[in-house]
Amino acid sequence: MKLIYIIVSSEDDDRVMEQLNKNGFSGTKMATTGSFLRSGNTTLLVGTEAEKVDKVIEIVKQECGPRQRITANTPPTVGAMNNGYVAYPVMVDVGGATIFVMDVEKYVKI
């Protein structure tokens, strides 16, 4: 038995969960926050048999591929005078997923 932690953008979580459910997987959805863009993320916890892990990963790949977004860069220090620092648009990569697969010693569903 495996426990899969799937961290995706909040923009992608509904599509990922819908496809996981359609393919017979269930899970728990938790709201989380990323540190770089301080944007909303969702962490999905999915328990499954070891031989089905690759199917879960494939579903995630199909539903939340990486993409680019324009955002304004922020001053280097918060609350300090910006000393002529000018914010300008920056292209950053967003989307995709971070996936951790862990062994589960025991699984009980009550």
Whole-model pTM: value is: 0.73
How far apart CA 45 and CA 29 sit, in angstroms, is 7
When the pLDDT of each residue in the chain is averaged and rounded to a whole number, the result is 84
38-47, 66-75, 82-91 — most confident range: 38-47
Range of weakest confidence among 4-8, 79-83, 106-110: 79-83
Q: What span, in angstroms and rounded, lies between the C-alpha atoms of 30 and 102? A: 18
SS3 18: helix
33, 36, 26: which is closest to 9 by C-alpha? 33
β-strand pairing of 2-9 with 40-48: antiparallel
- pLDDT tens digit string along 94-109? 678 999 999 999 988 8
- Name the architecture of domain 2-67+95-103: 2-Layer Sandwich (3.30)
Average pLDDT over residues 64-89: 67
pLDDT at 89: 80
